[in-house]
Copies of this chain bind each other. A is one copy, B any other.
Amino acid sequence: MANPWATLGVDLHLEPAGSGGLRRGLTDALREAVRSGRLAGGTRLPSSRSLAADLGIARNTVAEAYADLVAEGWLTARQGSGTRVATGVPRLGPRGSGTASPARRREPGEPVHSLVPGTPDLASFPRTEWLKAARRALATAPFHALGYGDPRGRPELRTALAGYLARARGVRTGPDAIVITAGFSHALRILGPLLRARGVRSVAVESYGLDVHRGLLRDAGLAVPALPYDGLGTDPGPLDEEGAVLLTPAHQFPMGTPLHPDRRAAVVDWARRTGGLVLEDDYDGEFRYDRQPVGALQGLDPDRVVYLGTASKSLAPGLRLGWMALPPSLVEEAAAAKGQIDTCGVLDQLTLAEFLASGAYDRHVRSARLRYRRRRDALAAAVAGRAPDGPRIEVTGIAAGLHAVLRLPPGTEQSVIQAATWQGLALHGLAFHRHEEAVAEPLDALVVGYGTPPDSGWAGALEALCRVLP
């Protein structure tokens, strides 16, 4: 028999087709060959047609295996230069740990690794499932769906979301009260001017949070005073004078604590008493590991809480898809403020609707949750086990989400970030996420986005992190 890997130049250990099938087997074998260095960075792979002929399997199987590995960052595909082994992929060291940089070609000065929070593992985006959903969605969409549409977004997606949010997050809403946005920030850009037009002058925010969100509210002419933060989460005590509040109740960003049940009740009580509005940022509500999910605050009072969700953490920011479940009295105004101009692409909306309705979304979230949880555990173990004589570094906020807070010895945050930059590791300190007028105990800490790297870069990123810890 001729060498079945003739065109590839190296033998691969290809398991007989098991439950995962040929595609999985080939993908694993190729990944292993890259990881072990048998296929060197820059090597051009044979065309899927040639390799398929060599192996006596369908060309599609090879093409799909290539596509999986491109998605994971092991291979690169460029128009005109075919499929190649990515350069800078971490090799397996003697103890099986990755050591080098991830797969992408970098600009000079660009960090090799990133543990910046806010992005999921983009390499795990379910490309094949998404395409399947896109095909089904396009096969059934009526032609008029491709026109200028309802500013609230496609009814298919609003219907699918209403069902999903009720089931997964305890949100009480209906398709008519949902408005699709191009992500959370886009929603804030709609809500800020809307609140201002209703006479609101000030939206309270948390002592920790994203500068860009505060900026969007300020752009609308709103003040953004900070609420105190302590061990029970954000303290809604001083809310009285505000017209609205922006909160991350399920998983405080970035501190990682859920809002204490008493305080949840107090927030809703304040809103009812004063007519105030709660903006609930539920950015990563799906990813909870150690206990019962914390349901959405919105479920306590759908007339006083705007629930805000996004596909940016559960799928990918590049989709530019988010959603608001609004109090019925606000729907019309929000839709008008959004208008037809801001309408998001209908194809992605229809695809996400199908993705939700078919259960593919749940399956994806389940499998992502498992992988992120493993990374979280690896992070905690690596930090605990890094140096027996180093200072103790507590890993907190890890019951949920895609990031953890590492508490550093006082006065070390800035120097750790500096060391990380020198080592090519992009990292955020807690100071970066602190309100200018935060009411909270000062704290040196890192906000580690363990969800951010692709699988091919995770081990290397974790190692780089441990090298810069005190």
Identify the A interface with B (CB < 8 A).
63, 66-67, 70-73, 76-79, 104, 119, 122-123, 125, 127, 130-131, 134-135, 138-149, 182-183, 185-186, 189, 216, 316-321, 340-348, 357, 454
Contact = CB atoms under 8 A, between A and B. Distances in A.
Given A139-B66, A148-B119, A344 B345 contact: yes
Given A320-B345, A348-B345, A125 B146 contact: yes
Contact of A122 (B63, B127, B144, B343): B144
A79 B140 contact: yes
Contacts of A146: 122, 125, 316-319
Contacts of A143: 70-73, 122-123, 125, 454
Contacts of A183: 341
Q: How many copies does the complex hold?
A: 2
Contacts of A67: 138-140
A142 B79 CA distance: 12
Contact of A119 (B76, B147, B189, B216): B147
Contacts of A348: 345, 347-348
Nearest to A188: B341
A426 to B, nearest CB: 13
A279 to B, nearest CB: 16
A135 B131 contact: yes
A340 B142 CA distance: 31
Contact of A345 (B63, B185, B321): B321
A138 to B, nearest CB: 5
B345 A319 contact: yes
24 contacts: A63-B139, A67-B139, A70-B140, A71-B141, A79-B357, A104-B142, A122-B143, A127-B138, A130-B138, A131-B135, A131-B138, A146-B316, A146-B317, A146-B318, A146-B319, A182-B341, A183-B341, A185-B341, A316-B346, A318-B346, A320-B345, A321-B345, A345-B345, A348-B348
A67 B143 CA distance: 11
Contacts of A141: 70-71
Contacts of A63: 139
Given A122-B143, A139-B66, A348-B348, A341 B186 contact: yes
Nearest to A454: B143
Most buried by B among A134, A317, A345, A454: A345
A182 B342 contact: yes
Nearest to A73: B143
A240 to B, nearest CB: 31
Contacts of A135: 131
A68 to B, nearest CB: 9
Contacts of A142: 70, 73, 76, 104
Contacts of A77: 139-140
A5 B104 CA distance: 55
